[in-house]
Amino acid sequence: MMGVESSDCTVAIGRPLREEITISVLESSLNCSAGEVVLFSGRMMWRTGCRKLPLSLINSRTNTLIVKQRVLLPGNGVILQYNSRTATKKYYQDCDKQLFGPRGEIVNPVQLPDRRQEAVCRTFINVAPRHRIAIRVLYIDLGNASNQTHFNYILVRDVSTMKTMVFHGKQQFFWQSTGSQAEIEFHENVKEHRTSFWAEYHAIEPK
């Protein structure tokens, strides 16, 4: 991330669920006194740095990591090397899903009858930096809206603001994020092999 034209540069790294990312800082020419800095952020970690960066190791603790660099002087920056490995601690449910790319399909998770039932199943969506996410629901049927229960709703979270919206019943919706990451939590009975939620997402390019 050296010699970039923009003062703010962002790199997103994504791996399959069950893996975690380790970053090594090989070189750094950041001017700390001028306010230059690099930020590492993930679902379970947040770290900024400038001084004593070379040879330091950063662990994401999950399968995604965003690196943001802010430089003020031309040519400054960092050189990083990343690797992935099997996560040392399980941070996901077996029914969780990870979606990458500019567009895709979202469906409710279905758990087999012989599996341990998990109260919440999540779908994580990550698109390119500076892009936003648009979700359009094509079909939703979470039961009778007048008989809402604790286990019968979907929660959509905007990761950049941590704001959430809750949807019940047969309430179709169109939703947009403010950043490049979103999470959907399925608080519902997903034992049966049936479609109760079907949606499409696509990335909105920056203006």
**Using an 8 Å Cβ cutoff, are 22 and 59 in contact?**
yes
Using 70 as the pLDDT threshold, list the residues of the chain that sit under it: 111-118, 144-151, 188-195
E strands, 34-173, where? 37-41, 46-49, 57-59, 64-70, 78-86, 97-100, 103-107, 121-126, 132-140, 153-158, 163-167
**Using an 8 Å Cβ cutoff, are 46 and 68 in contact?**
no
| Domains along the chain with CATH numbers | 7-86 (no CATH), 97-204 (2.60.120.290)
> Across the strands, what pairs with 59?
22
Contacts of 147 (CB under 8 A, 6+ apart): none
Residue 145: alpha-carbon gap to chain centroid: 29
What are the respective helix, strand and coil percentages of the chain, to the nearest 5? 5, 50, 50
**So what's the pLDDT on residue 193?**
44
End-to-end CA separation in angstroms for the chain: 23
User: What is the pairing mode between strands 46-49 and 37-41?
Assistant: antiparallel
**So what's the pLDDT on residue 3?**
81
